[in-house]
Amino acid sequence: MSRTPPESPESLAPRLPSPLTETADEHFSRHGVRLLLKRDDLIHPELVGNKWRKLVPNLRAAVRAGERTLLTFGGAYSNHLRATAAAGRLLGLSTIGVVRGEELAGRPLNDSLARCAADGMRLHFVTRADYRRRNTPEWTAALRDRFGPFRLIPEGGSNAEAVRGAAELGRELRGAADVVAVACGTGGTLAGLAAGLAGGQRAIGFAALRGGFLTGEVERLQHAAFGGRRGAWTVEDRFHCGGFARTTGALESFARGFEARHGLPGLDRVYVAKMLYGLAALAGEGAFPRGTTLAAVVTG
């Protein structure tokens, strides 16, 4: 790899602020609720949505510090691994992906991991037991012994720098909506979004995973980034549809209908579709007074 200085993330010409479009949809309009879509999926063709919001502060810090290698974590279908690998290729940084599942080593790569490898990411497969140790100092030290110096980016990219980066999303939405909805995996986007909103606005995070752990994680991330809880926010745990990457017939029917009505092919089922499905269900339950404006973040 060339040892020329890495590029700055600003050289990638992101589309910011991302577009905010009104979307007339019967699931909301019949309850007197207005729906806006915050199209973070249009920020950059390869670093879309919350990946841009959360990764760029870490990339900027790495470039400032003269660091040449990024190491991060994810599962076999991790969008975060793909985004980190793409960022490394675009900016001239080396990348290492620690992948959960030692049984995958030596087998043909799935499309997601093949894309990571094509972008130059070195894949390191570990047992699930070892993967659970990823946040311990001892395991991090062992990784540094193995790979040399690197900037560590946590699973999903959620750390204090990422949360402060995601706060810009909230600032872009000030005054635009009463309630802002976003899908949640690790909680970093919700933590930043809520902090960036104006007084009187609130955020709802729709959990894509089972477990009920996100409220505590969002609080932890806000303390790390800002020293305490910021903004008005809640986590909605009812619409994960059985867990990460799980789906149901009702979710599929809703997602296909939404795609057809609004020209959004390939609506992400893991995160975005669940958020929109849950938001429509809340509207149907009367959770939002008539006249409420909702903004739903399309993260990719």
271 and 186 share a domain? Answer: yes
Q: What is the pLDDT of residue 3?
A: 56
Q: Are residues 172 and 122 in the same domain?
A: no
> Quick count: other Cβ atoms within 10 Å of Cβ 6?
20
Rg (CA), the chain: 19
Does some domain include residue 8?
no
Helix (H, G, I), strand (E, B), or coil: what is residue 216? helix
Q: Please count the CA atoms within 13 angstroms of the CA of 15 that sit on its side-chain side.
A: 15
Identify whether 129 is part of a domain: yes
Residues in CB range of 72: below 8 A, 6 or more apart: 80, 81, 84, 95, 96, 97, 98, 152, 153, 154, 155, 157
Assess if residue 236 is contained within a domain. yes
Could you list the mean pLDDT of each consecutive 10-residue stretch along the chain, which spans 300 residues? 68 94 97 98 90 92 93 92 95 96 91 96 96 94 97 93 96 98 95 98 96 94 98 97 92 97 92 97 98 96
Q: Are residues 165 and 122 in the same domain?
A: no
What is the domain-level CATH number for residue 81? 3.40.50.1100
DSSP sequence for 47-82: S-HHHHHHHHHHHHHHHHTT--EEEEEE-TT-HHHH
What is the per-residue pLDDT for 49? Answer: 81
Residue 9 lies in a domain: no
3 state DSSP class of 101:
coil
Claim to verify: residue 41 and residue 96 sit in the same structural domain: no
What's the confidence (pLDDT) of residue 293? 98
254 lies in some domain: yes
What pLDDT does 2 receive?
43
Q: Distance between CA atoms of 296 and 20, rounded to whole angstroms?
A: 9
Specify whether 120 is located in the same domain as 169.
no
104 three-state secondary structure = helix
Q: Are 135 and 172 in the same domain?
A: no
Residue 36 domain-assigned (yes or no): yes
Indicate if 114 and 168 belong to the same structural domain: no
The pLDDT assigned to 244 comes to 84
Same domain, 211 and 287: yes
Which of 131, 149, 167 is at the close of a domain? 149
My answer on whether 284 and 174 are in the same domain is yes
Give the domain extent around 193: 18-46+159-297
Q: Write down the residue that tokens 């149901």 correspond to.
A: 248
Residue 34 lies in a domain: yes
Same domain, 111 and 226: no
* 10 lies in some domain: no
Question: How many domains would you assign to the chain?
Answer: 2
Q: What is the pLDDT of residue 203?
A: 98
Which of residues 86, 114, 149 is at a domain's end?
149
| Domain limit, last residue, from 149, 181, 213 | 149
Q: Looking at the structure, tell me whether residues 187 and 253 fall in a common domain.
A: yes
Taking the C-alpha atoms of residue 163 and residue 260, their distance in angstroms, rounded to an integer, is: 34
Q: Domain check: are 181 and 293 in the same one?
A: yes
